[in-house]
Structures are given as structure tokens and as C-alpha cells.
Structure 1
Amino acid sequence: MKQPEKRRTVALLIHGLGGTVHDLGILRKSLNQIGIDTHALSLPGHGSSPEDLIMARAEQWISVATREYDMLARTYETVHLIGMCMGALLALIVAERRPRDGKLVLLAAPVFLDGWSMPFYRRLRYFLYLIPCLARRMRVTEQDPYGIKNALTRSLIKARFQRGDAFHYRWVPLACIRQVDRLRYKVWRVARHIRHPTLVINSREDEVTSVKSASFLVDAIPTSRCLIVENSYHMLCIDNDRKQIAETMTAFLGN
């Protein structure tokens, strides 16, 4: 029996912590316009309520992202990986596990949590992790500027939070930040093994992670290139530089 022909190209989109595919803004539409299908996943603990993140584990996120990649690889000739924030860490880990055809796009990957809004006492979280009941109960709340430099977009996002829209969690448990830290440590170990053509995009004004993260990735991944944008905060795909980012990414994936 003749096997069905594989479709050509798809991009697996991986959102950030507490987020949804909305984190990636217009990228889905931009990819469709150049003939690349898109597939967005929802990570465990997301899409419902922040309490569901309390017991979420990094291994669960990696497993789901890998499974979705494998599912697409059975149907498509080429699978690209695109991740935003925590999703970028997951995309890199999946790429290391699945060294196949396809490219890698890392958006605001928080290899280091050292952006300008990070409090000086952020390292205390490592001691709080040692008290599980406290780590599960403590909340890390989204605060102004919500990762967005554009004043109009920021006001719209703030209004959505106030209405209780389910596009992004208003807070996440501290225990969940520990899982992000565990992903960061994995990326430190495996980044040098990546052989996918890779595009690293960060903002110079990112309040969560500095350009040190981009420098680490470019130094570690031999087939990488980098774009540093100058007029956005952390949420790159919905901020001032979103069009430049979409154009750069589609040109990179379309070649």
C-alpha cells in the first residue's frame, strides 16, 4: 500500500510561561503567508488557571513538546521549532533531542534571569525552593509594564488582565519558576550540541533577560545568527519591533 506523501513544512510554536499562542502575535499569520503551516501546543498547566501550574514539572513540558514534534515529523518533511521565552528553552531542548531537518528560532530565551526589572533579591528564590509548601503558595505576579514598551498595547493588555481574559496568567506560583530554572540549566548543558540553523532574537531593553542570554546562545551554537532589537521589552512579538521580527524570521525560515 502506497504511503501518503508528506506535506512540506510546518513550524511548531511553543509559548512562554503562563502564556498561550497569543505570546507569538502575528508570527502565525506571517508564516502562513510564506507557505509554512503552523502548529501551536498548550503546555501542561496552561490554558486553565494558574493553580494548575503548582505541580507542573519541566519534564512534562519537555515530553509534550517532543511528542508534538514527533507527531508533526510523521506528516511533514520539515519541522521548524519556534519558542518564546520559556518556550524558547523548550524548543532548544527538543532540537537537541531531535537533530533532524528544520530550523530553530529562539525569541527572548531567558538563559539568564538578569533583566532590568529583576529584583536584587531574586537569588533568594533558591532558598525558598527548599520550603516546598512556601514555594507552592507564593505568587509571582505580572506587573507593569507587562513586558511591553508600546504604551497603547500595554494599556490593552492591562485591560484584558482586568477583564480576566484567558490569554495569559496574571500570576504563576514560585514553584513553577523553579521548573524554568531547571530548563535553563539544561540549556546551559546542551546548547553547544545544537546543529540546527538557529536565529536568536532578543531585545536590548528586555526587562526579564539581558542580551547576555543572546550572547551565550550565539557563542554556543555554531550555526546561529542574532538579531538584537532596540525598541521593545520582553514580549517581542506584540511590541514595537514585531514587524521587523516577523520579517527577519520569515526571511530566515523561507530560505
Structure 2
Amino acid sequence: MIGCLCIHGFTGDPWEVQPVADSLAKQDDWLVYTPVLPGHGKSATELKSATYEEWVYAVEVAIEELEKRCSTLYVIGFSMGGMLASYIAARYPVNKLVLLNAAAHYVNPKQFFKDMIGTIRFHITGTQEEDQLIELYEQKFRETPFAAVGQFLQLIQKTKPYASRIKIPTLIIQGELDGLVPLKSAYHLYDVIESEEKELLVMKQSRHMICHGFESDKVINEIQTFLTSS
């Protein structure tokens, strides 16, 4: 059986990677798991007491459980989840890795909170249309405790060195119009990952929520092709 761990991003929940997870779960003999990181998935205020160590521990437990059940392991990480995925790929017997807008570099947090709230709809989706999910994210960004941002920054600092230890096939997909994670993040990861089989795809029309944007079908197809090819 193939086990696939999908990891969402900071302040987010499994919805961020759900289109990819749902598509892969339709494959025969696949077990796809998308855990909710501690402090996430409900009110953003619950992040106040969450620590980066808890986020790391949660994905370690998840991959260990999949390892018990599956002979082949894949990991997909979005945004902050991409850095957690890199950490897991460097330390566990993972066979393939997919990084989606992985946050090796990121918008300055103070500037993020100053400028992003008023324009988050455009930066994430490229549209000004009303949408309940976008309203939810606006609320999350307003409520996110600054202590949680500090934990986010620590997680990036702690996990970033592990990318250079990755030697397995890796697919990096980055939205060129991402307003939160800059393109240089993808180039950095591509440069430091030591795998002989690695690929960087830049989606010209995609913003941060790359699994829900204009090119989501293309993103899903690229991931499926990469993971199902021998």
C-alpha cells in the first residue's frame, strides 16, 4: 500500500490541500492522511499556546503511523507544511516529496500583518469576489497571535537546514503570483536539495492557495504524474 501524508500551512487546515488529497485518495491501494496541526483548524486564537515543537511532533507521529501500514511513503507539504515535509523527507524513509509554495522564504511578518489584511483576498485568490472561505482567512489573519508568528519563524529556522539532506525524487511547484511566499523560496529549495531527480515548476497564474486557484487542475495532474511514475 502507498501512504501519502499531506501537510497544510500556518493558520490553515486540511482544506488547503484537500483537492490534491481527494484526487490521490481515489487511487487503488492508497492511504492519504491530512492531519490538522495543533492549534489549527478552529479559531486562530487557539494558536496562541501552540508551539513549533508540537507541529513537528504531529507530523512525525503521522508519518510513523503511515510507515506501519504502508510499504511506500510520499509526503506533500504546502507553505509552512512544505518545510515540515522537507524535515520529514530528510529524516524518514520517504520515497518521494512534493513541495507546494514551501515557505523557505516568506513575507516579513510585521509587514505581513500591516499590509496583507486589507488585500488578502487579492493576494490569495486574485479576485475581489465575496467568498466565505476567504472571509474566514481574513478573520484568521486578524486574530492570529503574534506569539504564533514567532513559533512559525522558529519552525522555518529549525527545518530549513534539512532541505540540503534530501536525496529522494522531489517536485517543487510554486505560484509565480504568490503574495506570501516569494519565488526565491522555490529556487532556494531547488538549489539546496541534493536529489539527482528534482524538478521545479512555476505556475504563472497561481497565487498562494495553489490547490484552489486558476491552475489547480494542472497542479493536481503534475503531482499525480510525478507520484505515479516509476
Letter in 1 for 2:119: D
Shift in Å, 1:221: 0.8
**Offset of 1:156 from its aligned partner?**
4.9
Aligned positions of 1:121-160 closer than 5 A:
122=111, 142-146=117-121, 147-151=123-127, 155-157=129-131, 159-160=132-133
Post-superposition CA distance 1:205-245 (Å, at most 9, x none): 11012111011101111222111000011110001111110
Query: TM-score, normalized by length of structure 2?
Result: 0.87
Aligned Cα root-mean-square deviation (Å): 2.6
Tell me what 1:30 maps to. Answer: 23
Question: Which residue identity does 2:14 align to in structure 1?
Answer: V
Distance 1:183 1:52 in 2: 18
Q: Is it true that 1:87 corresponds to 2:77 in the alignment?
A: no
Residues 1:236 and 2:207 aligned together: no
Could you say what secondary structure the match of 1:207 adopts? Answer: coil
Q: Which moved more, 1:226-235 or 1:21-30?
A: 21-30
Work out the CA distance in 2 between the residues paired with 1:175 and 1:140. Answer: 19
* Unaligned ranges ≥5, structure 1: 1-7, 126-137
Please tell me whether the aligned partners of residues 34 and 254 of structure 1 are also in contact (alpha carbons under 8 angstroms).
no
Where has structure 1 moved over 6 Å in runs of 4 or more? 138-141
Rg larger in structure: 1
> In structure 2, what is the Cα distance between the partners aligned to 1:90 and 1:49?
22
Q: Taking structure 1 as reference, are residues 253 and 156 closer, same or farther at Cα in structure 2, changes over 3 Å only?
A: farther
Q: Judge which range, 184-193 or 204-213, deviates more.
A: 184-193
| 1:221 and 2:220 are equivalent in the alignment | no
Q: May I ask how many residue pairs the two structures share in their alignment?
A: 224
Between the aligned residues of both structures, percent identity stands at 27
- The structure where helix makes up a greater share of residues is 2
Q: Secondary structure at the match of 2:140?
A: coil
Query: What's 2:140 paired with?
Result: 169
Equivalent runs, 1:1-255 vs 2, <5 Å: 8-35=1-28, 36-98=30-92, 100-114=93-107, 122=111, 142-146=117-121, 147-151=123-127, 155-157=129-131, 159-160=132-133, 162=135, 169-170=140-141, 171-223=143-195, 224-255=198-229
